Structure 1
Amino acid sequence: MPLQQQQIGFGTAPLGNLFRDIPEEEVQATLASVWHEGIRYFDTAPLYGAGLSELRLGKFLQDKNRDDYVLSTKVGRLVSEETETKEGLFAMGRQNKLIEDYTEDGTLRSIEQSLERLQTDRLDVVYVHDISPDFHGDDWLSLFEESRNGAFKALQRLQNEGVIQAWGVGVNTTVPIELALELEETTPSLSLQATHYTLLKHERSLQRLMPLVERENSGIVVGAPYNSGVLLGGDYDDYVEAGSEVQAHVRRLEELTSKHNVSLKAAALQFSSAHPSVQAVIPGSTRPDRIREDVAAMKEEIPAAFWQELKREGLIAAEAPVPTD
């Protein structure tokens, strides 16, 4: 695994102008803070601002020793020169049209494009992006099959040849990773699972996903450990407006963190990283001071009584690994 020593990484989705138009100087200051704090794993994707995140990350990393950091990106979307009016999460990103392509040829072309934007000659990890129902509805299974016959085989070959260190599926749900791990012809070595192994939401992962990961000697990177913001007082849960039940759950977590003098950020990060199958946790931000907070949160002392009370109250699963285990 390329991430054995990378307990915390940096997710660069916000650098693609997620939710807001972020000035370039703010982006570069944030990346400088990431590097200064010793974080050396960076994850990006063509989706994030139609290549904007990759371009910004590549600009920052161009004078860094390539052996000093781990880099992952994703395949499944090609960035076209054609433009269109954007809506949704990355409406303020680049206006280049994204073309979905999970074939072998599309996968290789996507990697070539990413290498150019990132100004590097190699990738360490490549994830097959968003072959899941939250993005594609009922069409996701046909895209999974396209990936199975295209992207999966191409990436498995690249790993076998030593071109990349690891590959897997990068999604906001669990089922696509589970299906990929059950295939006979290919085996993901490291997958990115966002929003579903968090302090707020983890039951399905514990029951189904993590046992498969362990059986296949694979690994998980946890993305969006704050559930896209709601765990830290934001309005979004899994990239949509948080419902009242979720907000009530968060308020109860806040009460217990206050009772035990624990920061909710520390509880969230340390919970997600406590499972033995988790290779890294990758929060994202566009504020330099948030990076320092993340690193400090990973080191914060959390009493065993806090985790015990969360389990007694049913706020986390009884079988969930916690840092004091």
Structure 2
Amino acid sequence: MSLTEILPGRLGFGTAPLGNMFRAIPDVEAAATVETAWDRGVRYFDTAPMYGAGLAETRLGEVLAGKPRDAYVLSTKVGRVILDELEEGARDLGEKGGIFEHGNRNKVLHSWTAEATEHSIEDSLKRLGTDRLDIVWVHDIAQDFYGDLWVQKFEEARTGAFRVLSRLREEGVIKAWGLGVNKTEPIELTLALDEPRPDGFLLAGRYTLLDHEHALQRLLPLAQEQDVDMVVGGPYSSGVLAGGTHFEYQPAPQAILDKVARLKELTAEHGVSVKAAALQFSLAHPVSAAVIPGATKPSRITEDTAALGEDVPAAFWTDLRASGLVSPAAPLPTGA
């Protein structure tokens, strides 16, 4: 089943910030943000065990418990199992470093085996307080491994998580599965397999105004050829496009800040919000099924929903192309 057949709209809510990403937020603020998303018509929610070591799933589940289960679509991820044992010292979260240092202190086991996948799903269902998941993503597969170890970990996922999720899809337990990553290579490799076959993928931070050329070269043409859909995660590039200071989960380098400044000048010239440019750009590719910005404040949700429907003049997209700020190969909303 294609993602476009499953997803209830083109705007979803990415819940990584609910895991205390970059900062600790009060429970009441987290709950108000999810409630605002619901009130503004958002019906697709994406989460993961890694987001605050289960904190985001718990917070999301507490709010969604009061909503009709058939009224929304829910996705989470496998690849990280949250242990009962607490971490006493510094946490090793790979390249994502300490972005969830304010989350729960539980230890996180990185594993894509069949057993870990089944365990992870069971735990997620408990934290979310639900009886079913709609979509399951294989999270950050082999993210922090290289060389022979990368191959080993990918094979672990292929023979473990991929096959478990394919079986659950065939049994009707879940509607779809795919990869949830911020690198294009694992998706390209998966799409080259004869089996198991994913239904789509969640690509975070790799199809944005600031970073899209690599995805355009091989991944997206391959996905389009195979009729595989994409959910765009991290459309604001870790926040730097939305007024934040992070890019790729780290303090943004000067070159990125300079590019953001040029984008802001262009949007201001045309009376367009940066968020509208970012979301509508990410959705313009034929493979894009939905975009899932994250938020920790109700006001940010209001901005996101308004940005999606904002009337962006064709002249802006024409000037954006002419400025060289986006790839000539990138589809734009007006086809400019």
Query: Is 1:31 equivalent to 2:34 in the alignment?
Result: yes
Q: Residues of 1 paired with 2:24 and 2:191: CA distance?
A: 38
Cα deviations by residue, 1:245-272 (Å, 9 ceiling, x for unpaired): 1111111111111111111110001100
Q: In the alignment, what sits opposite 2:302?
A: 292
2:178 aligns with one of 168, 180, 183:
168
Alignment partner of 2:9 out of 6, 17, 35: 6
- Write out per-residue CA displacement over residues 156-193 of structure 1, whole angstroms, 9 at most, x where no aligned residue: 11112221111111111111111111111111112110
1:230 maps to 240
C-alpha distance in 2 between matches for 1:13 and 1:140: 25
Q: Scaled by the length of structure 1, what TM-score is found?
A: 0.97
- The counterpart of 2:43, out of the listed 31, 40, 45, is 40
Residue 233 of structure 1 deviates from its aligned partner by 2.7
Confirm or deny: 8 A CA contact 2:8 2:44 kept in the other structure. no
Shift of 1:140: 3.3
- The reply to whether residue 191 of structure 1 matches residue 201 of structure 2 is yes
CA shift for structure 1 position 141: 3.1
Question: 1:182 — aligned with what?
Answer: 192
Q: Distance in 2 between matches of 1:262 and 1:140?
A: 43
Gapped runs of 5+ residues in structure 1? none
4+ residue runs over 4 A deviation:
none
Q: CA deviation at 1:74?
A: 0.3
How far apart in 1 are the matches of 2:245 and 2:209?
A: 17
Structure 1 equivalent of residue 104 of structure 2: 94
| Cα contact 1:132–1:171 (8 A) shared by 2 | no
Alignment equivalent of 1:256, drawn from 249, 255, 266 = 266
- Structure 2 residue aligned with 1:318, among 316, 320, 328? 328
Question: TM-score, normalization: structure 2?
Answer: 0.94
- Partner residue of 2:67? 64
Deviation at 1:4, TM superposition (A): 4.4
Structure 2: segments with no counterpart, 5+ residues: 92-97
For residue 296 of structure 2, give the secondary structure of its aligned residue in structure 1.
coil
**After alignment, is 220-229 or 301-310 more displaced?**
301-310
Q: Distance in 2 between matches of 1:177 and 1:240?
A: 24
- Count of residues paired in the alignment: 324
1:10 and 1:41 in contact (8 A); partners too: yes
Partner-residue secondary structure (3-state), 2:99: helix
Q: Distance in 2 between matches of 1:206 and 1:279?
A: 16
CA RMSD, Structure 1 to Structure 2 (Å): 1.2
Is 1:244 paired with 2:247? no
Distance 1:209 1:37 in 2: 33
Q: Deviations over 1:89-141 (max 9, x none)?
A: 111111111111101111011100000110111100000111144x3455433
Report the 3-state secondary structure (helix = DSSP H, G, I; strand = E; otherwise coil) of the residue aligned with 1:212.
helix
2-structure distance, mates of 1:144, 1:239: 23
Contact 1:3 1:280 in 2 (8 A): no
Deviations along 1:188-242, one digit per CA (max 9) or x if unpaired, are: 1121100010011111111111111112221110001000011123211111111
Render the CA deviation track for 1:36-55: whole Å, top value 9, x for unaligned. 00000000000001101001
